[in-house]
Amino acid sequence: MKTKTYSIITGTGTYIPSEKVTNEDFLSNEFFESNGSKIEKSNREIIDKFLEITTIAERRYVTDDLVTSDIAYYSAVDAIKSADIDPEELDYIIVAHNFGDVTSESKRSDIVPSLAARVKHKLKIKNPETVAYDLPFGCPGWLQAIIQADYFIRSGDAKKILVIGAEVLSRVSDPHDRDSMLYADGAGAAILEAKESEKPVGILAHKTRSDTYLYSQMLRMDKSYHPNGRYKNEIFLKMNGRRLYQYALETVPQAIKDCLDKAGAHLKDIKNILIHQANGKMDDAILKRLYKLFGMSTVPEDVMPMTISWLGNSSVATLPTLLDLILKGKMNTHRIGPNDKLVFASVGAGMNINALYYQA
């Protein structure tokens, strides 16, 4: 039987910020509607409803001395140690993010040089053949970077690639917008390596789509909802939550099915579905609709491990963080063993969607 080149994950790492922010920490915020009018409900009502809709009880923020490239570096060190490789052997470093380095003093994005270049510098890699670049692709950015890395490896262009997802959303969220309670900070990384094998292993299929014609503005940057507040000259991350929820339900399950169909695989054989931690209730609804697409009325218990209740939505960092926690035995009963089949999926600004089928 002829051998083929496959991309396998040989190491993972993460950086979970130390500052824990609970829902109660938002009780003193002044919340406004998008039209600038003050929300009439009490903050207790707002927070309780938020928990019910999203399942988020707390999230993590970075300390003032850190920026996105710092935590990207920390997750990279963890992944390199996990894979037990020499960083000088890396062919690519790809960093997925959306806002660059935003300091605690300024809301400005800083992306020159690229965050990947900054991470390579912090890793003290001297090899000029280690190509470093960034990928802004909304929340699906880390998974899209993994997909790009797979192309590099299968083409013979690379043997070892570091893929990082890092974001500090706490500094681009409007404190006068209820949606600010969704957002969190964090970083996760993975090492992909080439493996020659007769048996299919690692990344076996993926699917990506971009719906920009109708949906490009569902996540965007805009002014603060406070009409006369101190942030009137700044812009913040804004979301059309209801439309995004419906869009995700209509498109993410089909994208996953299309991905599995490409590989000739069936959902019944999938051990775990690792989905971007955007909204707990939304992810549950996506899962139910996915199983219906395969004619399955019952969703297996514990098929979808979740971190959103205590880590919030850290955009590109949610998937690699989730994967790292599982692989290192930090997610209760969730385990990934040899030959287990996994699905990764994400949805976010663009609007972009991707899915990936992986066999351990």
Query: For 300-351, how does the pLDDT look when each residue is reduced to its tens digit (9 = 90+)?
Result: 989 999 999 999 999 999 999 999 999 999 998 899 999 999 999 999 999 9
Rounded CA separation 279/56 (Å) = 8
Contact of 347 with 137, CB cutoff 8 Å: no
**Beta strands at 131-135 and 160-168: parallel, antiparallel or unpaired:** unpaired
Is 239's pLDDT higher than 80?
Answer: yes
Residue 232 pLDDT level (bands cut at 50, 70, 90): confident
Q: What is the pLDDT of residue 360?
A: 95
Q: Are strands 131-135 and 92-96 parallel, antiparallel or unpaired?
A: parallel
Q: Which of 207, 186, 206 has its CA nearest to residue 325? A: 186
Confidence at residue 106, expressed as pLDDT on a 0 to 100 scale: 86
- At 149-200, the pLDDT tens digits run 999 999 999 999 999 999 999 999 999 999 999 999 999 999 999 999 999 9
Asked if 36 and 225 touch (Cβ cutoff 8 Å), the reply is yes
Q: Does pLDDT of 24 surpass 90? A: yes
Share of the chain above pLDDT 70, in %: 100
Which fold does the domain 202-359 belong to in CATH? Peroxisomal Thiolase; Chain A, domain 1 (3.40.47)
Q: End-to-end CA distance of the chain, in Å? A: 20
Q: Where in the chain is the domain with CATH 3.40.47.10?
A: 4-197, 202-359
Name the CATH superfamily for 4-197. Answer: Thiolase/Chalcone synthase (3.40.47.10)
Taking residues 75-95, what's their average pLDDT?
98
Q: Residue 85: its pLDDT value, please?
A: 98
191-215 mean pLDDT: 97
